[in-house]
Amino acid sequence: MTSPEGDNQKTHLSASVEFVGKVERMESGKNSRVSLTVNPKMAVDEKGLAHGGFAFGLADYAAMVAVNDPYVVLLSSQVRFLKPVIVGERLVAQAEITETDGKKRKVWCEVFNQERQKVFEGEFLCLVLTQHILDKKN
């Protein structure tokens, strides 16, 4: 994926648009914007309440894309679910790297619904490895 700014996406290239979102904008090593439409497969009940894991997954994906290294992984997160998410809503995650310390990146992410209401926020601590996490030398 190439962003409007001309950056090429280097991480999470096989991520599902249906479940973690579509990259709308990215500045490699700085920030990203990712959107997701909440679909019926994400519902946990007949009222259309979406499982919180999908808002988390969207935010996590936005954080990974902001870092934009092929070997970035999530170390930890501290998040808050602020409002329920409902089937049919369009969510937008905005992620920004707030701190770089060697191989570690702190990324702040907020998720908004189509009414511009914040539904989720959190800090993600990411680690940039020298090779794929499933390779033996990590």
Domain boundaries, the chain: 17-128
**17-128 CATH:** 3.10.129.10
- Confidence grade of residue 136 (pLDDT, cut at 50, 70, 90): confident
Residue 95 pLDDT > 50: yes
Mean pLDDT of 93-121: 99
What's the confidence (pLDDT) of residue 81? 99
Q: How confident is the model at residue 49 (pLDDT cuts 50, 70, 90)?
A: very high
C-alpha angle with apex 64: 1 to 9, nearest 5 degrees?
15
Kindly state the average pLDDT of the residues 106-116.
99
Q: How does pLDDT run across 50-66, given as a tens digit for each residue?
A: 999 999 999 999 999 99
Owner of token pair 């310390």: 101
The per-residue pLDDT for 2 is: 46
Other C-beta atoms within 10 Å of 78: how many? 9
The pLDDT assigned to 6 comes to 52
CA–CA separation, 48 and 87 (whole Å) = 5
pLDDT digits (tens, 9 = 90+) for 17-46: 999 999 999 999 999 999 999 999 999 999
Rounded to 5 degrees, φ, ψ at 59 are: -65, -45
pLDDT at 138: 54
Q: Are 75 and 127 within 8 A, CB to CB?
A: yes
| Residue entry with tokens 């794929």 | 132
SS3 (DSSP) at 60: helix
φ and ψ at residue 84, rounded to 5 degrees: -65, 150
What is the Cα–Cα distance from 23 to 115, expressed in whole angstroms?
Answer: 20
Report the Cα 44 to chain-centroid distance in Å: 21
